Amino acid sequence: LLVLLLATWTLFLNGVGLGRLEFIRHTEADRSLIAWEMVERGEYLVPELLASPILTKPPLYYWSAAALFNITGSTSEGVARSVSLLASVLMVLTQYLFFRLSSFSRPLSALSALMLSTSLLVFILSTVAEIDMLFGSFCLLGLYFGYYGTYRVAWFPILMS
């Protein structure tokens, strides 16, 4: 129940007005355009922008945005920004679960996750169509898996990191 409340809180806090503004920076539009071109062409392996390959960034954001475009049937600003919003939920839940698995109390674990969800950088990055929040979430997940695996001397979390 607490995990569901944390996810709802993060979605509400960072998701209000997600699609009301147009893209603020040109990079937001570029990221969305690359994902849109993937959907239009039906080719998902190599991201392209205006028929030239974009190999400077990892393609996970583009794949995620393209998947959301396909699922929702919309290519709006809000859908493009939803990837970052869902990544912020992943980050907050990772924080909570790591603290719980590290033998911290439930209230302290929830407090750490709430503090993360209300931090300024997480708030800003979860409302833009950029790679940063998704990358940060998986970096945090990898760090916590690595720490937990070495602390508990378990091979699976170490391999996952």
- Per DSSP, the residues of the chain read -HHHHHHHHHHHHHHTTTTTSPPSSHHHHHHHHHHHHHHHHT--SS-EETTEE--SS-THHHHHHHHHHHHHS---HHHHHHHHHHHHHHHHHHHHHHHHHTT--HHHHHHHHHHHHTSHHHHHHTTSSSSHHHHHHHHHHHHHHHHHHHHHT-HHHHHH-
Angle between helices 77-101 and 26-41 (to 10 degrees): 100
pLDDT of residue 120: 93
pLDDT in the model for residue 21: 77
Confidence (pLDDT) at 35: 95
Say what the pLDDT of residue 141 is.
92
pTM to 2 decimals?
0.89
Q: Which residue has 């998902």 as its token pair?
A: 44
> How far apart (Å, rounded) are the C-alpha atoms in residues 149 and 157?
5
pLDDT < 50: residue spans in the chain: none
How high is the pLDDT of residue 83? 95
Position 15 scores a pLDDT of 85
Give pLDDT, residue 6: 93
